[in-house]
Structures are given as C-alpha cells and as structure tokens.
C-alpha cells in the first residue's frame, strides 16, 4: 500500500511539472509588446539646413557662391533619394502612431490605410523577431481598391534599442520591385551624435554607385558639428557646417578646380577661409 501511495505521489508530481512546463512554453509566445519601430529620421536624411537657396543673387548683393554650390549639391541628392521615399516614408510615419496586432510566430503587423498625393493605399507593415538584438521590418503597399497584399516598398533590420537600422528601398514598376537605395543609420541617444548613408544602387542608372554620407555632432571640429560626404558621377564633394550658426565650407575639386575649402559665414555670404 505504501508503494502504491509513493507511486501515485510520483505520478502526480510528474504531471504537475509537465503542466507547469507546458504553461511556461505557452507564456513564451509574445502577444502584447510589439517592437518599437525606429524613428522616421532613420529613413529620411535631414537636409533642413540646405532647404532654401540664398535670396537675391543680384549683382549688387554679396556673393553666396560657396553656399549655393553646397546647396545645389545637397539638393541633387535630396531629389534622387527623397522623391522615391515620399510614399513609403509618409506611410511609415503613420505606422508609428498605430497599434500593432500580434499575428503569431514572433511577428506583429500594423495594417491601415493612407492617402498620399490623393492616392489611397492599403499598408501592411510587419516586424519579426530575429534574435535578442534585432527584428526584421517589411512594408508592403497596394492601391486600396486592388486585391492582394501588395508589393514590398522597403524592408530591413532594426535594433530593439533603436540605435541602428539598415533599410532597402525599392522602386515599384507595375507589380515588380527594383532595389534603388541602401540606407544605413546609427544614433547615440546619450550624445545625440549619429550618422547616415544613402547608397544609390539602381541597376543601369547614371548615378548607380553614388552615395551621400551625413554625420552630426562630430567631436573632431569645434567650428563645424555636421558634414556631408557626397559622391556622384561627376566627382566628390565635401560639406561641413555649424548647425547653429549655419556658417560652413565646401570642397569640390572639379567645380572649384582646386582642393581647398571654400567658406561662407552666418549670413551665407562668401568669406576667406583663412579668417576662421
């Protein structure tokens, strides 16, 4: 009788442990906390300090040639990168304001409608856990009135701590996609320093292989706290400036026919760099 009781207790203990393990296994499946998506600034480069050309440009006005050349160089990249980003960035910004739904297999989905330039789209953005540090993101858009999931406009990998993201941007032609842009973004939330790179990779495009690199709050220079390193089919251009005063300088060996810095002051007027 004693042996029977011991056996019964043993079986009950095994059953209890099994139920606990099963419960723990079920609890491992996340259902509530979606990954926090990186900010829009992880996709869209900041061109705000070069958003407007100098006013005037009259013969009697002081020359702003140096700033104007930096402005046109940055604007060129703003055009080739920002135009194809208009729809996906607008859609992504709205995702940051939406609640995600857990759809299983360590994956969350943001599903919603968005209107861009009077065109209605249906958006599906998913985030899937890859490991303890990173999750994958995929955004597909489709015309709202068409059936089906749509075509991926961008995808990539992001860190859970939101300090780094790497994106692939695609151009949609019909229902096909062509990769046109690699984006790499890093941000330090303690110092607010960071950097960002666009690489243009569209096959056969004149600017295939071109790039723009932006860095901000760099410790190397006391005078300038931001810079662009621009590479295009016509050559390389370096721009450095102070984000507070807006004074800066540009180097372009092809345009200026030298390898010297060409400076502008806080009013964007040309100045002698030796006066700095």
Distance (Å, rounded) from C-alpha 227 to C-alpha 222? 13
| Residue 269 covered by a domain | yes
| Residue 167 covered by a domain | yes
Res. 275 pLDDT band, cuts 50 70 90: low
Residue 222 clears pLDDT 90, i.e. is over it: no
Residue 226 pLDDT: 95
Q: What is the pLDDT of residues 135-178, one digit of tens each?
A: 999 999 888 877 666 788 899 999 999 999 999 999 877 667 89
Residue 274 pLDDT: 80
- Other C-beta atoms closer than 10 Å to the C-beta of 252 total 22
Residue 17 pLDDT: 38
| Residue 31 covered by a domain | no
User: What's the rounded mean pLDDT across residues 222-240?
Assistant: 92
Res. 56 pLDDT band, cuts 50 70 90: low
Residue 189 clears pLDDT 60, i.e. is over it: yes
Window from 3-17, 186-200, 259-273 with minimum mean pLDDT: 3-17
Query: Rounded to a whole number, what is the largest CA-CA distance in the chain?
Result: 113
Distance (Å, rounded) from C-alpha 40 to C-alpha 181? 16
Res. 78 pLDDT band, cuts 50 70 90: confident
Residue 239: phi, psi to the nearest 5? Answer: -130, 130
In the beta sheet, which residues pair with residue 136?
128, 157
**Domain ranges, residue 145:** 48-275
147 vs 125, more confident:
125
| Residue 16 covered by a domain | no
User: What's the rounded mean pLDDT across residues 199-215?
Assistant: 92
Give Cα separations from 152 to 162, 202, 253 (angstroms): 22, 16, 40
| Residue 127 covered by a domain | yes
| Residue 125 covered by a domain | yes
Mean pLDDT of the chain, nearest integer: 84
18 vs 135, more confident:
135
- Other C-beta atoms closer than 10 Å to the C-beta of 101 total 12
Distance (Å, rounded) from C-alpha 158 to C-alpha 64? 40
Res. 69 pLDDT band, cuts 50 70 90: very high
Query: Looking at beta carbons, which pairs linking 127-134 to residues 24 or more positions away fall under 8 Å?
Result: 127/34, 127/35, 127/37, 127/100, 127/158, 129/30, 129/35, 130/157, 132/160, 133/159, 133/160, 133/161, 134/158, 134/159, 134/160
Residue 13 clears pLDDT 60, i.e. is over it: no
| Residue 268 covered by a domain | yes
User: For the stretch 144-179, what's the b/e string if a residue is b when 16 or more beta carbons lie within 10 angstroms of its beta carbon?
Assistant: eeeeeebebbbbbebeeeebbbbbbbbebeeeebee
- Reference 170, options 153, 149, 183; nearest CA is 153
| Residue 109 covered by a domain | yes
Residues 217, 220, 224, 229, CA torsion sign: negative
Res. 130 pLDDT band, cuts 50 70 90: very high
How many independent structural domains does the chain possess? Answer: 1
Regarding beta strands 226-232 and 262-264, do their DSSP bridges make them parallel or antiparallel, or are they unpaired? unpaired
Distance (Å, rounded) from C-alpha 91 to C-alpha 143? 13
Rounded to two decimals, the pTM is 0.83
Residue 14 pLDDT: 39
């Amino acid at each position: 009788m004693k042996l029977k009781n011991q056996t019964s207790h043993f079986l009950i203990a095994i059953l209890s442990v099994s139920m606990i393990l099963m419960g723990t296994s079920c609890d491992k499946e996340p259902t509530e906390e979606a990954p926090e998506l990186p900010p829009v600034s992880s996709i869209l480069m900041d061109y705000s300090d070069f958003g407007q050309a100098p006013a005037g440009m009259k013969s009697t006005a002081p020359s702003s040639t140096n700033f104007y050349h930096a402005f046109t160089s940055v604007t060129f990249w703003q055009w080739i990168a920002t135009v194809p980003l208009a729809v996906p960035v607008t859609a992504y910004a709205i995702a940051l304001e939406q609640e995600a739904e857990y759809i299983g297999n360590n994956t969350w989905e943001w599903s919603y409608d968005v209107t861009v330039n009077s065109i209605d789209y249906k958006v599906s953005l998913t985030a899937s856990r890859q490991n303890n540090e990173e999750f994958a993101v995929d955004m597909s858009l489709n015309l709202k009135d068409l059936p089906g999931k749509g075509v991926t406009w961008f995808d990539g990998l992001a860190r859970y701590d939101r300090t780094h993201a790497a994106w692939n941007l695609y151009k949609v032609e019909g229902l096909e996609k062509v990769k046109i842009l690699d984006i790499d973004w890093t941000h330090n939330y303690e110092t607010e320093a960071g950097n960002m790179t666009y690489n243009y990779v569209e096959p056969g495009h004149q600017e295939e292989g071109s790039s723009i690199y932006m860095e901000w709050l760099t410790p190397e220079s006391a005078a300038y706290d931001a810079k662009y390193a621009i590479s295009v089919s016509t050559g390389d251009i370096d721009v450095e400036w102070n984000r507070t005063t807006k004074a800066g300088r540009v180097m372009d060996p092809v345009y200026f026919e030298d390898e010297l810095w060409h400076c502008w002051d806080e009013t964007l007027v040309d100045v002698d760099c030796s006066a700095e």
